[in-house]
Chain A
Amino acid sequence: MRKRIGITLAAFVMASLTAGAAWAAEPIKIGAILSVTGPASFLGAPEAKTLEMLAEELNKKGGVKGHKIELIIKDSGASPEKAFSFAKQLIDENKVFAIIGPSTSGETMKIKNVAEEGKTILLSCAAAEVIVNPVAKYVFKTPQKDSDAILKIFEQMKKMKISKIGVVSSNTGFGQAGKAQIEKLAPENGIKILANEVYDKAASDLTAEVTKVKAAGVEAILNWSIEPAQSIVIKNARQIGLKVPIFQSHGFGNIKYVEAAGEAAEGVLFPAGRLLVADVLPKGHAQKELLVKYKKDYESRYKEAASTFGGHAYDAFLILVKAIEKAGGADKEAVRTAIEQLKGVVGTGGVFDFSAADHNGLNIDAFEMLTVRKGKFAILKQK
């Protein structure tokens, strides 16, 4: 698929240019810096596909306020120096209206200043909280907050009367930011961390780490990672006969990770956005209709399962379009202010309520506690 992106994109840009010429209004250029290849491609690839799909759909309907959307996707391969170069290019040369992405926190932090200086809206698809805290005027992000996910987990632990846990996290930005938050929030919630292990995101056997956790006598494992290596923790823990509940982060929200862990994944608990359980959501849930539609569109178009990561790009696009509608046109300043005033926008990640102080707009309700049942994601039934 990804090999086609460049070509599709070129064709698409041409098409939208010619199509746009027929319209009086100029197309709105939206840049996207995503790690379509490289170590973070599991984030960037579905994000890029989602954006292409949405832009095409919107343009068919005639665009937003008479403007067609012209999408410019750049593959950064998760290298900050490329993200920097592309951000400059998009702002100075393509004069884009807004930038969606980058996919990783490291890249986002590198181009935060560029977006601020270029007065260009940046809608990051990366999770780290430092992106919007402290708030930078032009920088927003769509994924849920780590701290809310952790609080959701602690809430569940309290219900299960668990107080002694072992924390294992990957050595990436996602893992380390999560670990820091866990360490900060645990004492307030009466949780004791008995073992604290960090593993490499490219690790392929973690028996030694989980053995250390087992030796500490924990009542549950909290595994914080967004990379494939997290499945190995689950597998290895079960292999050495460690039978305590395993909690995962919202980074577990990819059915491939469940498949990779096989039977060991049964009963794993984790908080996540509701995309994964769209089909079994109760009728009338605010997000149900949107989630089912996104899932169906994405899966019929790309023949692969939709992931919450693609959802982050979906939300970024959605918020931008809503804000343009609200502002009544493509004026950067007006749209930026409009985003801050958006309330109750239903997205894939939750219901967004932005404000001048909150550039993320999601709260703890964005998460649902999920579990794995018979190799599938399911909503955890509270006893």
Chain B
Amino acid sequence: MRARYLPVVAFAGLVVAIQLATHFTDSAYHLTQLTMTAYYSLLIVGLCMLIGYAGQISLGHAGFFAIGGYLSAFLTTHNLAPHQAGALISLLSKSGLLVTRSDLYGGSLLTVHPWCACVAAAIVTVAIAYLVGGPVLKLRGHYLAMATLGFGVIVYRIVLGTEFLGAADGISDVPGFPLLPGLEIAGKSSLRVPNYYVAWGLVTLGMVLLLNLIHSRVGRALVSIHGAEDAAGAMGIPTARYKLNTFVLSAVFASLAGVLLTHYNGGIGPSEASVMKSVRYVAIVAIGGMANLWGALSMSLVLNYLSLRGYLGSFDDAVFGTILILIMLFAPDGLLRRHLFSDVKRLVTGSAADEEAP
């Protein structure tokens, strides 16, 4: 086994250890917030890839999260039964893409199957990310920050102003996301432990994917873009294409996180698309050390968990703002700098820490 996967194994161990700890201390209720944290972390690691490795800031990632969440929520709650006679609907129904279920009050609904909704959300996200990313990533510095921020605000305004997306109330009564018979992604207390493992399993999978990417030819190309874009271009690296693909990849991570968290929570509201959310995500990546996936992941775990538990109370946003300024003023490389991390790792594993460096 290559040394790069050691942290993955350690991380998986930590996930199991936390679950066992909550089990034996009879505090399994912590897993609810931890599961929600996992989905936010999925977005964070994707964003970390974009900011830290491709060097492109995005202040609009909550927008992609919302696109995924809202699309999935809308498709799985919108009742198609009145249109059942239509040719398209009956065709979809016959091909098994639609599902009939009963709502809380016993009425029956005909909606799109969650899996199809998820695939649709992913496809739409890819399309939008290419469409937006193409021109946006040609910009640099302030312009790039403002353009991505603008994208986020547009998504926020659209979900807030659109009646069939529930305007300010958002969408409720979103069904669970079926995985296996008897197992679905949903907030039911009986499924708490499996859901915790599913969520963190997905994060681990995402991490493995990103780590492989970083250590591949693509990853090295990205780092060179981050270092000096013009030089990278001169070396024959198709900089625009690499940047765009990373942007789309991180958007898909965000969108899937949105889809899954929406099914887990049973609904989504416009607050998920707000600019403040996007800023928080960037803050977490910055604190984690910009180009440090493990740093971003651990900070996401800690900060999202604290926020969701309500420990920060009314100072929630203020805490993030303060952390953001302090980090940027005194430790612009992030709290968990890469070498700090690999130092610790060297202590732990006692070997080959340089593998970690790209």
Contacts and interface: CB of A to CB of B under 8 A. Distances in A.
Interface of A: 2-3, 5-6, 36-37, 74-75, 77-82, 84-86, 88-89, 92-93, 104-107, 109-110, 112-114, 116-118, 128, 134, 136, 171-173, 176, 200-201
B173 A109 contact: yes
Given A117-B188, A117-B189, A92 B32 contact: yes
A84 B266 contact: yes
B168 interface: yes
B187 A84 contact: yes
Given A80-B268, A85-B32, A109-B267, 6 more contacts: A79-B271, A85-B33, A85-B308, A88-B29, A92-B29, A110-B265
A80 B271 contact: yes
A5 B314 CA distance: 9
B167 interface: yes
A173 B167 contact: yes
12 contacts: A80-B268, A80-B269, A81-B272, A85-B32, A89-B32, A92-B32, A93-B29, A106-B172, A134-B104, A171-B168, A173-B166, A176-B163
Interface in B263-320: 265-269, 271-272, 308-310, 313-314, 316
A111 to B, nearest CB: 9
Interface string B126-170: 000000000000000000000000000000000011010011111
A240 to B, nearest CB: 24
A172 B266 contact: no
A118 B187 contact: no
Nearest to A72: B310
Interface of B is mostly: helix
In the A-B complex, the 8 residue pairs with the smallest Cβ-Cβ separation, listed nearest first, are A106-B169, A80-B269, A109-B172, A173-B169, A172-B168, A92-B29, A79-B271, A93-B29
B355 to A, nearest CB: 38
Contact of A37 (B29, B187, B265, B314): B314
A129 to B, nearest CB: 12
B167 A172 contact: yes
Contact of A80 (B189, B265, B310, B316): B265
Contacts of A84: 187, 265-267
B161 A171 contact: yes
A114 B269 CA distance: 16
A89 B265 contact: no
Contacts of A5: 313-314
A2 to B, nearest CB: 6
B50 to A, nearest CB: 23
Given A6-B313, A173-B168, A81 B104 contact: no
B105 A134 contact: yes
A376 to B, nearest CB: 30
Given A86-B310, A106-B168, A176-B167, A171 B269 contact: no
A171 B168 CA distance: 7
Contacts of B310: 74-75, 82, 85-86, 89
Given A106-B169, A110-B170, A114-B187, A85 B309 contact: yes
Contact of A105 (B28, B169, B188, B268): B169
B99 to A, nearest CB: 18
B313 to A, nearest CB: 4
A18 to B, nearest CB: 23
B36 interface: yes
A271 to B, nearest CB: 22
Contacts of B117: none
Nearest to A126: B169
A16 B265 CA distance: 33
Interface in B37-57: none
Contacts of A89: 29, 32-33, 309-310
B95 interface: no
A171 B173 CA distance: 21
Contacts of B118: none
B266 A81 contact: no
Contact of A113 (B29, B33, B261, B266): B266
B166 A106 contact: yes
Contacts of A86: 310
Contacts of B28: 92
A124 to B, nearest CB: 13
B107 to A, nearest CB: 8
B163 A113 contact: no
B102 interface: no
B267 A110 contact: yes
A116 B29 contact: no
A78 B29 CA distance: 22
A181 to B, nearest CB: 14
A215 B36 CA distance: 50
B169 A172 contact: yes
Contacts of A93: 27, 29-30
Contacts of B266: 84, 110, 113-114
A356 to B, nearest CB: 14
Contacts of A134: 104-105
Contacts of A80: 170, 265, 267-269, 271-272
Interface string B312-356: 011010000000000000000000000000000000000000000
Nearest to B314: A37
A78 B271 CA distance: 8
Nearest to B270: A106
A201 B29 contact: no
B261 A81 contact: yes
Given A6-B313, A85-B36, A92-B32, A110 B269 contact: yes
